[in-house]
Amino acid sequence: MILHLLKKDISRKFREPFGFLILTSIPLVFSLLIGMIFGPGSGKEPSLKVKILIADRDSSFVSEMFCNVFGGSRMNDLFSMEKTDSLSGRLRMEKGEASALLVIPDGFGDAVLDRKRTSLVLIKNPSEAFAPKIAEQTVSILCEASERLVRIASSPIQVIRKGIREDSEFSEVEIALLAIQIRRLISKVEDILIPPQIAIRDEKAVSQHEEKQPSSVMYTHIISGFLTFFMLFVIEALARDLFQEQDMHTLSRLRTGPVSLAQFVASKQVFLFLMGLLSYSMVWLMAGVFFGLKVPLRIMPVFMAFSVLLLSSLTGIVGLIYSLARTRSQAQEISPALFILFGMLGGAMVSINNLPHFLQGLSVISPVYWGQDGIKILLLRPEDASSVLIHILIFSILTVVFNGAAYLLFYRKFRS
Amino acid sequence: MLTVSHVSKRFKDIAAVQDVSFEIRKGEIFGLLGPNGAGKTTTLNMICSLIKPDSGRIELDGMEVTDKNPGLRKKLGVVPQDVALYEEFSAVDNLKFWGGLYGLKGTPLKSRIAEVLSLVGLEERSRDRMKTYSGGMKRRLNLACGMIHNPGLLLLDEPTVGIDPQGRHAMLDMIRRAAKSGTTILYTTHYLDEAESLCDRLCIMDHGRVLATGNQDEIKRIVGENRIFKVTGVFEARNAEEMPGRIPELTLLSLRPNEVLYSLPVRQQTGKLIETLIASGFQIENLSIKEPSLDSVFLKLTGKELRD
Ligand SMILES: Nc1ncnc2c1ncn2[C@@H]1O[C@H](COP(=O)(O)OP(=O)(O)OP(=O)(O)O)[C@@H](O)[C@H]1O
Ligand SMILES: [Mg+2]
């Protein structure tokens, strides 16, 4: 029976998904924004432009072409390119001045034209999550593009090369002009090539980048704090239509049938929990897609248990507020105030270390504290996953106590 | 089928239902007739155990109806006064949900959905969201959802309110057809004509009390072969009270300032009464004569007319 009621609620939600999507997208959009603003450059560079350094040791027209693509007008709003030499480029990368450094080795152009294996070196800024990915993506697309180009236009290219080697008719300027022409050719195919829809094949004929896992430490810090905080708001917003069935008179009608009030209340609580969990999962999914944030597989069971209990205790908190409040509007006024208090104490807005000393001790009463602390441990120190057991225990207790109390209070409330 | 005995319910200082008793027999259409606030909905809510009576007992097929007996409630089909459905759903989805609630599924559910949809004439719009329906269509779906599980007893709370005359006609037809197929029906209304044309037996309520119960003939016998005269105008109360002495078989039913009600057997002459009234100094503004009917019964029982 509860399942039947639940199915009805879920399919009603998905018939009119906009409200829910907007609701869920709040933490989503927020996390993306924060991630983009603070993620790249660790807050030094709030611009979305990807700064790329290119050390061109080859100086062939092929390498010129690569540079031109990054510097060209088409990519201008995404990249800011600067040429450098490999040594000072590396130094600047160490200082974190750019998102990526592309080193084009000597003989790269010839190798491409002779269709021999060669490699590009792409050094990515470890403190950024997003921007280096873009650089990497673009480079690999370029590799593929040039490979195709060489295959298609191999004979004219051979002629040109001969000219270059004999060093007779082609001056530096002419080489540059040729490169530009080729870039034009590329820009014609760019429309097809640049969009990342094109799958990058595993065996890249020309490139073998230096892989480095993009670090998302900063992003993890941010998301762990506000995710719990935001989930409270999401669940609260969902709870607003707890009373909807009373207004629609369907509650009375259900009760004239074989549905008991207990089943009705339980179905609503499960519904809140499931929708909250869905919204929460979507945030993680997005975090994985955009910031490469991944939960290590080996702690996955712990992470899932933690998440489920976190969400069920948040459901309990919201449920308790709504069942305790005398009127709906009272509940809607109390909730945000209480959540913000939880958020403050729990470190969602300011880092707990920056709180006044006497408040720091109080942070343990905030569920947000336990939420963000647990997420941080699981993602940043997965080897300590076992210490999350205390969080899991606390959330289990909160789940039982709060949901139980909310259930009884709702039961009484709807009865009259 | 259903026995309501000595049931009362108070809401704070309003006695919504007082000592109401009646019995509904299997297969009949039983009418609960009364003006706004008579206690019809309250009585219905007690029958489907939404509210608990303060005293008295309600039995369905010999078992007491309480909120702890969901199995028994499955025999009931309830069509509430207000449309109570899911607007995001289409007619079919609503019917699926309500049918599923009563354990219907698969092919039987499908064929039953088709059946009730054709009964209420909503086949064409059955896949559209209910939001897009007109008020009358929503009411018809409201009825359909109450009958989806083939209930033994169907409780209808003023199902025709807000429906145009053709729609009303159609709905009464639907109800008659449902009754023919074996469903017992409790029909609540404040329309006399509906009660008169639809119901096998009737219970007339006002101010939470039962005024009369019986079949159409029994009820009409309350007024007997009498016409009811309602006279409004300017007159002296003493004169109005003395009229029965001047005209044989005339009875005074009620007397209010500027309004008096008499009943007079059909065989007596109407003209004589009017002449006498004028002779006694009545300045008649309006005179209405009611032939023996539910209308006149109601007028006789309550002293007021039943109008919406
Ligand atoms: N929940 C309630 N709380 C307080 N009073 C109520 C409640 N429900 C009904 N009443 C009162 O009980 C009386 C009977 O109401 P009820 O709804 O049963 O009348 P009804 O015959 O269905 O009228 P209508 O034709 O308007 O639907 C009214 O005076 C009403 O004000
Ligand atoms: Mg009513």
A377-407 confidence digits (pLDDT tens): 888 888 888 888 999 999 999 999 999 999 9
pLDDT at B64 over 60: yes
Asked if the Cβ–Cβ distance from B101 to A16 is below 8 Å, we say no
Residue A341 belongs to domain spanning? 2-42+213-415
Atom of ligand 1 at shortest distance to CA of B190?
25
Residue to mutate among B11, B44, B73, B105, with most A CBs inside 10 A, is B73
Residue A402 has phi, psi (to 5 degrees) of -70, -45
pLDDT at A175 over 70: no
The whole-angstrom separation of Cα A395 and Cα A89 is: 49
The whole-angstrom separation of Cα A151 and Cα A136 is: 23
A145 domain residue, yes or no? yes
- Out of A1, A15, A256, the one facing B73 most closely (by C-beta) is A256
Strand B226-234 to B283-290 pairing: antiparallel
The whole-angstrom separation of Cα B34 and Cα B188 is: 8
A102 domain residue, yes or no? yes
**Domains of chain B and CATH, by start:** 2-215 (3.40.50.300), 226-291 (3.30.70.1150)
Per-residue confidence band for A196, with pLDDT thresholds at 50, 70 and 90: very low
Q: Does A77 lie in the same domain as A29?
A: no
Mean pLDDT of the B217-240 span: 86
Q: Does A233 lie in the same domain as A110?
A: no
pLDDT at A345 over 50: yes
Which residue's entry shows tokens 């209308």?
B295
The whole-angstrom separation of Cα B121 and Cα A42 is: 66
Mean pLDDT of the A1-30 span: 82
Q: Does A368 lie in the same domain as A292?
A: yes
Exposed/middle/buried for A223, CB within 10 Å: 0-12, 13-18, 19+? Answer: buried
Minimum CA distance residue for ligand 1 atom 11 = B16
Q: Does A140 lie in the same domain as A276?
A: no
Is B11's Cβ below 8 Å from some Cβ in A? no
| Structural domains in chain A (count) | 2
Q: How far is A11 from chain B (nearest CA, A)?
A: 9
Per-residue confidence band for A199, with pLDDT thresholds at 50, 70 and 90: very low
Per-residue confidence band for A118, with pLDDT thresholds at 50, 70 and 90: confident
- Out of B86, B93, B100, the one facing A250 most closely (by C-beta) is B86
Residues near ligand 1 with C-beta < 6 Å? B 11, 14, 16, 34, 36-42, 81, 190
Atom of ligand 1 at shortest distance to CA of B205?
21
Residue A49: its pLDDT value, please? 65
- Out of A11, A252, A260, the one facing B84 most closely (by C-beta) is A252
Q: Does A219 lie in the same domain as A346?
A: yes
Q: Does A31 lie in the same domain as A91?
A: no
Q: How many residues does this entry show for chain B? A: 308
Q: Does an H or E element contain B173, and which?
A: helix B165-180
A207 domain residue, yes or no? no
Ligand nearest to the CA of B39: 1
Tokens of A267: 């179905």
Residue A73: its pLDDT value, please? 55
Residue A37: its pLDDT value, please? 58
Q: What is the pTM assigned to this prediction? A: 0.69
Instruction: Determine if residue B82 is left, alpha or beta; phi over 0 gives left, psi from -120 to 50 gives alpha, anything else beta.
Output: beta
Ligand 1 centre to CA of B288 (Å) is 31
A132 or B59, higher pLDDT: B59
Per-residue confidence band for A215, with pLDDT thresholds at 50, 70 and 90: very low
Residue in A closest to B48 by C-alpha? A256
**Which range is least confidently modeled, A154-158, A261-265, B83-87, B114-118?**
A154-158
Ligand nearest to the CA of B9: 1
A203 domain residue, yes or no? no
